[in-house]
Homo-oligomer: A and B are copies of this chain.
Amino acid sequence: MKTKLGAFLVLLLLPTSSAFGADELNTGDTAWIIVATALVMMMTPAGLALFYGGMSRYKNLLNTFAMTVIAYCLASVIWVVWGYSLAFSGEGSLVGNLDALMLRGIGINSVSGTIPTYVFVLFQMTFACITVALVIGSVVDRMKFSSWIVFTVLWVTFIYCPIAHWVWGGGWMSQLGALDFAGGNVVHINAGVAGLVIALMLGKRVGYGKEAMFPSSVTLTTLGAGLLWFGWFGFNAGSELAADGVAASAFLVTNTSAATAALAWMAAEWIGTGKPTLLGIASGIVAGLVSITPAAGFVGLSASLLIGAVAGVLGFFSVSKLKLKMGYDDSLDAFGVHGLCGIWGALATGLFATPAITEGAAGLFYGNPKQLWIQVISILATIAYTAIGTVIVVWITKLLTGGLRVNRDDEVKGLDSSLHGERGFEF
């Protein structure tokens, strides 16, 4: 989403908002971003919990829900206590400071751009929450619940907050001019790479490769994908921080990319295996949403068709071929879908960004090859930082919780029963 700087810029460009002038509250913009925040919030405990829960095996359905919900709870508390401050206060180029601890200095009359600062804080909070929750997709079926809790606290603090600062908090990436409208680097590449790292450190699930690990419910997963899609309009169009034409354009390309990617994944799978699965269609939706995220406020309709089409094929290829080839156990494909499609989206932004949508944001095909390099740098820097940082965070977590992984018997029996003493359905 816009850096504050960006937000001001927009104000000067938009007839309506400018009618109010910078830093005066606009009730229409505020109404939209309050709702957008609620939509993005819903993505984690409802959308993602269903999407991931339905993909995990039945014996781990509730555990997957629990990890997702608790990730949201922890991250949202961390954010308002110290996370926001680390990401958005101060002028540092690497990380923020602690001036805004407990949101100190922000009140009901504080305004950022045309919305209350509290709304900006909350909107950003929902991004921190879903980012760490996305990591779950790589680790379900085998991680200790206690380890997950400790990991969440450390990862949000030491990995998410600095990267959010780089891109949206006025840090070095924004100074460099990297384009990341709604979180290609900050959210998807970050979560996807972290997921891969921790999946490798956890090791494969018992029986992985030998037995088919069918999703507990493709029905729930598809409902989850539908709710994620719904929420994603808040995620991408909300990142404009105003109710204007750019938000509308972001909405347009978001929907188009998701739809195209679902069709592309379906086609690829149909050709590849002879049958189009609903799991594939649902995964395609998410792949398309991920890919358009960094580009949402910068690219036009035709680019979104292409971005989505490539995302669908790339996603299918990475979860059905690449993963098997490489042999890592990315349980629900957080890396395959979020990591790889996030990288594609960040690159695509460097290719297709057009000034016609956001003044001054141009990609290779609009005469600005430099942007592509900036995107590449930002991608590599994100991968490097999150990869190394996550290794350290996981390593500390392992120490603090005496191992990351449940014992073999509990894993075989299932985490719902062994960790929570419950079952998903009691028919």
Contacts and interface: CB of A to CB of B under 8 A. Distances in A.
A14 B24 CA distance: 11
B58 A426 contact: yes
A104 B229 CA distance: 26
Contacts of A119: 248, 251
A27 B24 contact: no
A245 interface: yes
A220 B217 contact: no
A49 B223 contact: yes
A246 B233 CA distance: 25
Interface stretch (A173-181, A255-263, A321-329, A396-404): A255-263
Contacts of A116: 244-245, 247-248
A356 B422 contact: no
Interface string A413-427: 000000111111111
A30 to B, nearest CB: 4
A15 interface: yes
A153 B103 CA distance: 46
B266 A30 contact: no
Nearest to A42: B230
A14 to B, nearest CB: 8
Contact of A226 (B24, B32, B42): B42
Given A28-B27, A256-B76, A281-B69, A356 B107 contact: yes
Interface in A175-197: none
Interface in A108-140: 108-111, 115-116, 118-119, 121-122, 125
A219 B61 contact: yes
Most central of A38, A81, A234 by chain B CB within 10 Å: A38
Contact of A102 (B28, B30, B38, B301): B301
A193 B203 CA distance: 51
Contact of A425 (B217, B247, B356): B217
A70 B263 contact: yes
A311 to B, nearest CB: 13
A119 B301 CA distance: 14
Interface of A: 14-17, 24-32, 34-35, 37-39, 41-42, 45-46, 49-50, 53, 57-58, 61-63, 65-66, 69-70, 72-74, 76-77, 80-81, 102-103, 107-111, 115-116, 118-119, 121-122, 125, 145, 214-220, 222-223, 225-227, 229-230, 233-234, 237, 242-249, 251-252, 255-256, 258-260, 262-263, 266, 273, 275-279, 281-282, 285, 301-302, 305, 356-357, 419-427
What 7 A-B pairs are tightest by C-beta distance, nearest first?
A: A27-B28, A108-B245, A118-B248, A45-B226, A31-B32, A46-B226, A28-B28
